[in-house]
Amino acid sequence: MLVVSEIALAMVLLVGAGLMVRTLARLSGVNLGIDPVNVLTLRVPLSGPHYKEPQESAEFWRHVVASVEALPGVESASVSRGLPIGDWAGQFFTTSNQPDPPAGQVPDANYIVAGPDYFRTLQIRLLRGRTFNEHDTQTSDRVVIVNEQLARMYWPGKDSLGKQLRMGTATGTAPWLSIVGVVGNVLSQGPDAGFHAEVYVPYQQFPWVLSPEHLLVRMSATVLPGTMAHAVVQEVHRVDKDQPVADIMTMEQVAREPMAQQRMMMALLGAFAGLALVLSALGIYSVLSYTVAQRTREIGVRIALGAQRGNVLRLVVGSGVRLAILGIAVGIAVGLALTQLMTDLLYGVRATDPVTFGVVTVILGAVSLLACCIPARRAMKVDPIVALRHE
């Protein structure tokens, strides 16, 4: 029964690991709404007496972006407050067609402070209107860009360009913002969280609200982002050598962070499943080896009486196959129950996924059959004369 338990345990762990592999495969294939390839990100939390005024902060970022864009191999650069994946900054807002919603029903959206070329750098699709430019300053009309999800929710079937919304809940305390562009949806809370309403404001118009902290740099296809990190940091320090630079990562690394829990779970289950698979194979091998040793005389008698080698093979392998079938059956039953606990970690695959159970059954069956081979070959080579002298 110990061998059956080992096979059942291997079955459960392999199924769990298989479900996580399929989940990660599905998550990796999800369109995030951005192109993270060849994008470098870094954080510069501006500090010091030089940046007490909003305009000083804006001036710093204008110089940094201009310097970085002049580097060879850089296609575009921009700034933002937070990164497009994982940095959620929820803010309440109201629209001009419903400026005073009932209490408790004020909508909220992800609030992104961005600079010119932000959408180009991340390759977020522009669906209608325009993106931000250098003319969107404190002296110009207040503008905002919304994502497709927000436009569809509040102006279904209508053109949202020119419509207005206001950030915050208190009437009259914030300016009305005119929508000048609609962009594609971004999975800002990770690939398994779905789309949410998002608003983008130009950092030069609202520097006193949330100043930019992140620099995003898109490299050409021939340049690896990691190789340019030192040069980009140098340009930041060329503008202000006293500013710290932190969290230097590629956008691909940032995009993988929401899947860290699934990756860790897959690694753990995979490691334990591999160990359980080896133990179950060794268990079958040991049991059959012991059985062959105990039944050597019987096998010798069978061969002496005319039993074919194939009959001996079926006798030994049959014992191992019965153990494997019993263990796999128990493992399937237990797995169907326990994998329900993994539902929250799965994406695009059911906890009872028949493909995963089928593949694992084949793998475990093949390994079990392989474990039967050595004892079976040993039994087929029993010499009847030697066996009859046994004991």
Which residue matches tokens 């005073």?
100
Residue 77 binned pLDDT confidence (cut-offs 50, 70, 90): very high
129 has a pLDDT exceeding 90:
yes
387 has a pLDDT exceeding 60:
no
- Model-level pTM? 0.76
Q: Which whole-number Å values give the CA distances from 228 to 68, 74, 282, in the listed order?
A: 10, 9, 51
Q: Which whole-number Å values give the CA distances from 293 to 70, 213, 386, 387, in the listed order?
A: 78, 72, 13, 10
Q: pLDDT > 90: what percent of the chain? A: 34
Q: With respect to residue 116, please indicate whether it lies within any of the assigned structural domains.
A: yes
Encoded tokens for 82:
């937070």
- Pair (238, 265) in one structural domain: no
- Pair (184, 298) in one structural domain: no
- Pair (269, 377) in one structural domain: yes
Q: With respect to residue 50, please indicate whether it lies within any of the assigned structural domains.
A: yes
374 has a pLDDT exceeding 60:
yes
Q: With respect to residue 382, please indicate whether it lies within any of the assigned structural domains.
A: yes
20-67 pLDDT, tens digit each:
888 888 887 788 899 999 999 999 988 877 777 778 888 899 999 999
- Minimum mean pLDDT range among 68-72, 247-251, 316-320, 345-349: 316-320
Q: Note whether 131 and 145 are within 8 A (CB).
A: yes
Q: With respect to residue 110, please indicate whether it lies within any of the assigned structural domains.
A: yes
Q: With respect to residue 38, please indicate whether it lies within any of the assigned structural domains.
A: no
Question: What domain range is 118 assigned to?
Answer: 45-244
Closest CA to 312 of 245, 368, 382, 365: 382
Number of structural domains (the chain) is 2
Q: How many CB atoms lie within 10 A of CB 135?
A: 12
167 has a pLDDT exceeding 90:
no
Residue 101 or 331, more confident: 331
Q: Note whether 107 and 146 are within 8 A (CB).
A: no
Residue 140 binned pLDDT confidence (cut-offs 50, 70, 90): confident
Encoded tokens for 77:
């650069």
Most confident of 86-90, 257-261, 330-334: 330-334
